[in-house]
Amino acid sequence: MAESSKLGILFDLDGTLLDTLEAIASSANHALEQLGHTRKPDTWFLPAIGYGVHHLLTRSLGDDDPVRLDQAIGHFRRYYDQRGDGHITIYPGIQEMLDALEGMPVALGVLSNKPHEPTRANIRRFFPGRRFEYVYGQREGVPVKPDAGAVAELLDQSGIPASRWVMVGDSDADMMLARNAGMIGLGVLWGFRDEQVLKDHGATLIARKPAEVAPRIEKMLED
């Protein structure tokens, strides 16, 4: 199959493949406590997840003082690196979804606003042997989602045009990226946002459970 006609499936990580809410919230609360703030309920962090740690902690602190923000990011990352993985689980049905997709003529990738090395480490740990051809986290000098520049390297390396990539994600940032980059936005409802938010930000397809993803991709391949 020519690369120009091949289909690419690009997954978000947090809230799409992995349930990381507890890991993110516990790390953010640790950072807040180190700076004299009180803890917040896990669900308080939901609206800020998906745009990277800078956005998450700026919102959590309630100010954008660069010194305090740098301190908070340091506390967050150290805690997450040491303890965060213990709170992460794979969503039910994800492995079966990936089994189905790996039997199709598609390229598979992951794009997260989590830092690059933790993103790759999570993929190695939770999905060993999976056929993810492209795995990208947040990297120095590269825009994050929803900036279309976040997928420039992916498009160049894969040779697959943006219109043949499906961005599968749970957040407004994922769907905005799809819209900004000219991709197809497939919003999922088992993560951190609801259906209306996803549609308002560009989702053209919705999956309520992982078992619905592969049939939608299969239909695209047939069209």
Which helix (DSSP H) or strand (DSSP E) does residue 205 occupy? strand 205-207
- Fill in the amino acid letter for 56: L
Please give the pLDDT value at position 1.
Answer: 46
Query: What residues does 8 pair with on adjacent strands?
Result: 107, 165
How many separate helices (H) and strands (E) can be counted in the chain? Answer: 9, 8
Length of the chain: 223
Q: What is the pTM of this model?
A: 0.90
- The span from the CA of 99 to the CA of 79, in Å, is 33
Q: Find how far residue 218's CA is from the centre of its chain.
A: 22
Please give the pLDDT value at position 5.
Answer: 65
* DSSP 8-state class, residue 39: P
Please give the pLDDT value at position 87.
Answer: 86
Count other Cβ atoms within 10 Å, centred on residue 87.
Answer: 17
Buried b (16+ CB within 10 A) or exposed e, 102-133: eeeebbbbbbbbbbeebbbebbeebbeebebe
* Domains assigned to the chain: 7-19+89-222 (3.40.50.1000), 21-87 (1.10.150.240)
Please give the pLDDT value at position 74.
Answer: 95
Please give the pLDDT value at position 32.
Answer: 96
Q: How far is CA 138 from CA 8, 116, 211, in A?
A: 20, 5, 28
Please give the pLDDT value at position 4.
Answer: 55
- The span from the CA of 143 to the CA of 57, in Å, is 18
- The span from the CA of 6 to the CA of 201, in Å, is 26
Please give the pLDDT value at position 3.
Answer: 56
Query: What residues does 184 pair with on adjacent strands?
Result: 166
Output the CA angle 19-46-114, nearest 5 degrees.
60
Q: Return all residues near 183 (Cβ < 8 A) that are at least 6 apart.
A: 10, 151, 162, 163, 165, 166, 167, 177
**One pLDDT digit (tens) per residue for the chain, 223 residues:** 445 568 999 999 999 999 999 999 999 999 999 999 999 999 999 988 888 899 999 999 998 799 999 999 999 999 988 887 778 999 999 999 999 999 999 999 999 999 899 899 999 999 999 999 999 999 999 999 999 999 999 999 999 999 999 999 999 999 999 999 999 999 999 999 999 999 999 999 999 999 999 999 999 998 7
